[in-house]
Structure 1
Amino acid sequence: MSAELLASTAPGHDGTLVLTLSNPGMRNALHPDMYAAGIEAIDSADRDPSIRAIVLTGADNFFCAGGNLNRLLENRAKDPSVQAQSIDLLGEWITALRESRKPVIAAVEGAAAGAGFSLALACDLIVAAEDAKFVMSYARVALTPDGGGSWFLARELPRQLATEVLLEAKPISATRLYDTGVVNRVVKPGTARDAALAWADELAQLSPNATARIKSLVGAAPEQPLAAHLTAERDSFVASLMHRDGLEGISAFLDKRKPDYS
């Protein structure tokens, strides 16, 4: 069987798109076919109002081993543009995950290595098994990060720790990343997917309009001066108030009932 990205909905979780990294026998190592499928899946989910959240996970209780080193060796015999195009496609998928209007939750079992770690970092939220490991393994094989790995870590960890993770290329535990705030929730082994789906169900009850706007504000904040961000917050608040979800949310709160954002 070949590497593929499986898209499905789990029974009882119709509002959540589940994207499963699958590469049997290769610990779900990545392939450009996965990137293309991922871009298409995110685009489709963003256009589908019935999808309220996305969960990214790996098959067979393992998230992702990152790139396939044998394929990388094969690419050394080809024009460098071949590898560059592959990394660009990965970058498009990373960007799609980051900029999706829907909340994206990574459910990590086993390990997230190399670009697999980058994929998890591109998600809005991370649920990880307590025995899961995360590793930027590039330096171990004389390579450098792709998929935004160094970008995410440099922004989410102290500089010294980000440098340690990238240079030493040693696994860092889910619990340590939880302590730094990179991982949101640590759960018992074998339960990360279910925990992520349960969280997705909670997020699905929120206003899709407000959710998308909050994601946009959080994404823009690190690069924006305060004055510009205050303006963006003002415009988003007013637009949300005037949106139909704003009327429903306020009315439901005052009426002491559950809002219906259908």
Structure 2
Amino acid sequence: MNAISPSIILEVDAGVATITLNRPEVLNALDEGMLTALQATIEPLGRNRAVKVVVLRGAGDAFMAGGDINLFNKCMKLPPGERYSHFSAAAARVAAITLSLRQLPQPVIASVHGACAGYGFSLVLACDLAIAAENTVFTMAYCQLGVSPDGGGTWFLPRVVGMKRAFEIATLSEKFDAREAERKGLLNRIVPPDGLREATDSLARRLATGPATALARTKALLNAAFGATLDQHLTREGDAFAECSLTHDFREGVDAFLNKRRPVFTGE
């Protein structure tokens, strides 16, 4: 276990890097310390070849309840110009975290329970997979505070649920449970609260023992899908396939298929 800061804990075991948001006394609300530590934790993972998958979770009773409202309140005392500069800079740092998550070559799993609101919601959207406990409660919450979403929430949401549902979720700030989140396409799996850790570990191990280059190229292709023409994307797919064909894992996958056995991927 490596405590990056009091608010972020990083654990790496058997190829799985688990990042724990660790401000349980305030439902892991985001403050400047957590913001700094989270970015410092995520960015180096992309260069760590020993890390095959990343898990993002929250300590205590919640995943993340959004930004720290008490800090927001303190900023109300700032003159308008200073307030604008403060929140503009904070939003840029939040955006950098979202970009870092998407740019990681490794799959990223959100393991969610309890409250998932505001930037916590945006973080889940930014992850590649999301597994949630049945007791999770979701809300974007931003408009309820009189502010618009950040962290990529309004970019991911319409792509996942469609424009009209996205508008409803983002503007009405209604709460909904894990079952509804699954129906909307926001979650991959729902499990009982006491089974969340085991289910997350099982999914993470499955990815960690997968073909690392193929997974990374697949993630990159999916990231690029909405910003390319079909012709451009077909070319990217061909390049990625050819690159994967040079790996040991490709030879292993073909041999395992022909010999009717389970492949043993090494990430090479």
Q: TM-score, normalised by structure 2?
A: 0.91
Give the structure 2 partner of residue 192 of structure 1. 196
State the 1:161 CA deviation.
Answer: 1.2
Contact 1:28 1:59 in 2 (8 A): yes
Contact 1:245 1:261 in 2 (8 A): yes
Give the structure 2 partner of residue 67 of structure 1. 67
State the 1:125 CA deviation.
Answer: 0.3
Deviations 1:98-136 (A, max 9, x none): 121111000111021001100111100000111211101
Contact 1:16 1:201 in 2 (8 A): yes
Contact 1:3 1:29 in 2 (8 A): no
1:131 maps to 2:129? no
1:193 and 1:98 map into 2 onto residues whose CA distance is 23
Give the structure 2 partner of residue 248 of structure 1. 252
State the 1:246 CA deviation.
Answer: 1.9
DSSP 3-state at the match of 1:186:
strand
Give the structure 1 partner of residue 239 of structure 2. 235
2:123 and 2:105 map into 1 onto residues whose CA distance is 17
Select 1:258's aligned residue among 232, 251, 263.
263
Runs of 4+ in 1 over 6 A off after TM superposition: none
Range 19-28 or range 246-255, more displaced: 246-255
- Counterpart amino acid of 1:8? E
DSSP 3-state at the match of 1:234:
helix
1:21 and 1:245 map into 2 onto residues whose CA distance is 34
- Counterpart amino acid of 1:73? N
Give the structure 1 partner of residue 96 of structure 2. 92
Contact 1:3 1:28 in 2 (8 A): no
Give the structure 2 partner of residue 44 of structure 1. 44
Give the structure 2 partner of residue 8 of structure 1. 11
DSSP 3-state at the match of 1:101:
coil
Deviations 1:65-89 (A, max 9, x none): 1001110122233312122111111
DSSP 3-state at the match of 2:193:
coil
DSSP 3-state at the match of 1:178:
helix
Task: Report 1:115-130 matches (<5 A).
Answer: 115-130=119-134
- Counterpart amino acid of 1:17? A
Task: Report 1:104-253 matches (<5 A).
Answer: 104-253=108-257
State the 1:3 CA deviation.
Answer: 6.1
Q: Alpha carbon RMSD of aligned pairs, Å?
A: 1.6
Deviations 1:223-260 (A, max 9, x none): 21111110000111111112232223222333334323
Which ranges of structure 2 fall in alignment gaps of 5 or more residues? Answer: none
Q: TM-score, normalised by structure 1?
A: 0.93
2:169 and 2:197 map into 1 onto residues whose CA distance is 26
2:113 and 2:265 map into 1 onto residues whose CA distance is 34
Contact 1:105 1:123 in 2 (8 A): yes
Which ranges of structure 1 fall in alignment gaps of 5 or more residues? Answer: none
- Counterpart amino acid of 1:39? Q
1:27 maps to 2:31? no
Deviations 1:173-194 (A, max 9, x none): 2111211222000000232232
Q: Quote the sequence identity (%).
A: 35
State the 1:139 CA deviation.
Answer: 1.3
State the 1:48 CA deviation.
Answer: 1.5
- Counterpart amino acid of 1:171? K
Pick closer, same or farther for the CA change 1:225–1:59 going to 2, 3 Å. Answer: same
Range 19-28 or range 69-78, more displaced: 69-78
- Counterpart amino acid of 1:260? F
1:127 and 1:257 map into 2 onto residues whose CA distance is 26
